[in-house]
């Protein structure tokens, strides 16, 4: 039974960039943020990453899924067992397939396994309930972004952009009382972000990413590729909306004729253009864009956003947050909300029919 008042929750996130597992402690009552605790990171090795990559797009029972789940569970168990002080754990798992208007959403990794290993309650399967009720099941960090804006004492509308494998943005009006309140939030996936660049680097150079955007900085953008990219039907769809990691898998073919540097520069240009197009949906212009995720370390992405957007573009560290751990902290926050029966998504964040609390709580045996 979860104690009343603020509790320490340990959140974990393994994102679509496939770099590794982030973990972070958060002191929260599921409404307010009281403190931030220790963090940790466990990178996937090349072999582990290859196992997960081989299962991308697969659904439960398909070849390779069990092996991917074992990699995910083992990596989480190693990392999380080394971080003490948590009352419960929020475990997102690794998204392998996401088709909210079709087969649903699939995250590899079983929270029951982690509950036994860690000896603590584990909240997991955060997305399925939202999808069952007609929602996109993503993005799920917006309720936490709302809490962060409150914690930082912000009063005017801001936007929080996460540049992971896929980009997602949350427009926040912190003057509202609660995240599910009318007009408090709007959230959606903007488009591909780091994933196409990472895949390019893996294919052509045997590296997991373009560190700092160094390769892209030496290349020339090919505007015709970006123009064709922006004609995709996704960009004409009104949010909320979400994407699978490989929804734009054709981008790799689109830059296949380019040299490495020009391909990286053009893929970065696509990511930036997708964000700029998405920002047109904001209910009111944000006073600033706060960027989290690995993409904020890519100087080409950050410079491109500053050129195309009319508001200041800053890393979330500008308001005292940790941009590497924001999503892990989000799932710590959401775990407490699930345990206390509070909603974790609403019509403005996922398109679900009403505010809903997803997630499954697994207790260790005994």
Across 165-184, b (16+ Cβ under 10 Å) vs e yields: bbbbbbbbbbebebbbeeeb
SS in 3 state form for 263-316? HHHHHHHHHHHHHHHHHCCCCCCCCCEEEECHHHHCHHHHHHHHHHCCCCEEEH
Tokens for 217, please give them: 């900085």
On whether the CB atoms of residues 188 and 237 are closer than 8 A, the answer is no
Q: Which of 168, 145, 181, 143 is nearest to 344 (CA)?
A: 143
Pair (264, 314) in one structural domain: yes
Would 12 be classed as within a structural domain?
Answer: yes
Residue 272 lies in a domain: yes
Q: Tell me, what CATH number does 71's domain have?
A: 3.30.420.40
Q: Are residues 152 and 120 in the same domain?
A: no
DSSP state of 97: E
Q: Which among 155, 97, 150 is positioned nearest to 127, based on CA atoms?
A: 97
Encoded tokens for 8: 């320490």
Q: How far is CA 232 from CA 16, 119, 220, 225, in A?
A: 21, 47, 23, 12
Contact criterion met (CB below 8 Å) for 52 and 19: no
CA distance 192 to 285: 23
pTM of the model: 0.95
Residues 51 and 179 in one domain: no
* 8 Å CB contact between 186 and 205: no
- Regarding whether 43 and 177 lie in a shared domain, the answer is no
Spans of the chain below 70 pLDDT: 1
Same domain, 118 and 26: yes
Based on the fold, state whether residues 130 and 235 are members of the same structural domain: no
Structure tokens at 29: 């009552």
DSSP β-ladder status, 88-99 and 7-14: parallel
Q: Quick one: 259 and 215 in the same domain?
A: yes
The tally of CA atoms less than 13 A away on the side-chain side of residue 302 is 18
Does the residue 42 lie in any domain?
A: yes
Same domain, yes or no: 118 and 194: no
Burial degree of 57 (CB within 10 A; 0-12, 13-18, 19+): middle
If you search the block for the tokens 């029966």, which residue do you land on?
341
Containing domain of residue 31, as a range?
7-134+358-362
Q: Do both 163 and 311 map to the same domain? A: yes
Question: What integer pLDDT is reported at residue 1 of this predicted model?
Answer: 64
Same domain, residue pair 42 and 116: yes
Q: Residues 338, 357: contact at Cβ < 8 Å?
A: yes
Q: Among 281, 42, 262, 57, which residue's Cα sits nearest to residue 168?
A: 281
Neighbours of 4 (CB within 10 A): 8
Peptide bond into 240 cis (omega under 30): yes
Residue 222 lies in a domain: yes
CA geometry: angle at 234 spanning 163 and 204, to 5°? 50
Q: 132: which 2 tokens?
A: 């069952």
Joined tokens for residue 267 = 């893929």
Give the angle 58-62-64 at the CA atoms, nearest 5°: 80
Whether 14 and 333 have beta carbons less than 8 Å apart is answered as no
pLDDT of residue 244: 83
Q: For residue 1, is it within any domain? A: no
Residues 56 and 199 in one domain: no
The DSSP secondary structure of 150-209, one letter per residue, reads HHTT--S-EEEEEESSEEEEEEE-TTSSSTTSTTSEEEEEEEE-HHHHHHHHHHHHS-SS
Task: For the chain, give the number of residues.
Answer: 366
Do 125 and 87 have their domain in common?
yes
335 domain-assigned: no
**Alpha-carbon distances of 141 from 147, 262, 328, rounded to whole Å:** 10, 33, 9
Whether 331 is covered by a domain: the verdict is no
Report if residue 62 sits inside a domain. Answer: yes
- If one counts the domains in the chain, the total is 2
């Amino acid at each position: 039974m979860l104690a009343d008042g603020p509790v320490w929750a340990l959140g974990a996130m393994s994102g679509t960039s496939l770099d590794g597992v982030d973990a972070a402690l958060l002191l929260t009552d599921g409404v307010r943020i009281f403190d931030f605790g220790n963090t940790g990171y466990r990178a996937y090795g090349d072999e582990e990453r290859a196992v997960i990559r081989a299962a991308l797009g697969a659904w439960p029972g398909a070849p390779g899924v069990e092996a991917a789940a074992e990699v995910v569970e083992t990596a989480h168990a190693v990392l999380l067992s080394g971080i003490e002080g948590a009352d419960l754990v929020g475990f997102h798992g690794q998204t392998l397939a996401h088709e909210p208007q079709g087969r649903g959403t699939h995250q590899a990794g079983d929270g029951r396994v982690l509950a036994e290993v860690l000896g603590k309650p584990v909240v997991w399967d955060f997305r399925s309930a939202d999808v069952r009720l007609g929602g996109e099941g993503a993005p799920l960090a917006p309720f936490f972004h709302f809490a962060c804006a409150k914690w930082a004492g912000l009063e005017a509308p801001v936007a929080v952009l996460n540049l992971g494998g896929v980009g997602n943005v949350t427009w926040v009006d912190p003057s509202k009382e609660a995240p599910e309140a009318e007009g408090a939030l709007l959230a959606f996936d903007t488009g591909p972000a780091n994933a196409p660049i990472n895949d390019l680097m893996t294919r052509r150079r045997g590296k997991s990413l373009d560190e700092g955007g160094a390769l892209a900085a030496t290349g020339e953008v090919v505007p015709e590729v970006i123009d064709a990219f922006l004609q995709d039907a996704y960009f004409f769809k009104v949010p909320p909306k979400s994407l699978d990691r490989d929804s734009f898998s054709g981008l790799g073919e689109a830059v296949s004729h380019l040299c490495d540097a020009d391909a990286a520069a053009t893929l970065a240009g696509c990511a930036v253009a997708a964000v700029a197009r998405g920002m047109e949906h904001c209910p009111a212009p944000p006073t600033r864009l706060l960027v989290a995720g690995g993409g904020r370390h890519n100087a080409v992405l950050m410079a491109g956003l500053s050129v195309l957007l009319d508001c200041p573009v800053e890393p979330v560290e500008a308001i005292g947050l940790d941009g590497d751990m924001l999503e892990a902290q989000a799932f710590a926050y959401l775990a407490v909300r699930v345990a206390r029966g509070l909603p974790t998504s609403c019509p403005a964040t996922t398109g679900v029919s009403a505010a809903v609390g997803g997630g499954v709580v697994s207790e260790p045996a005994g």
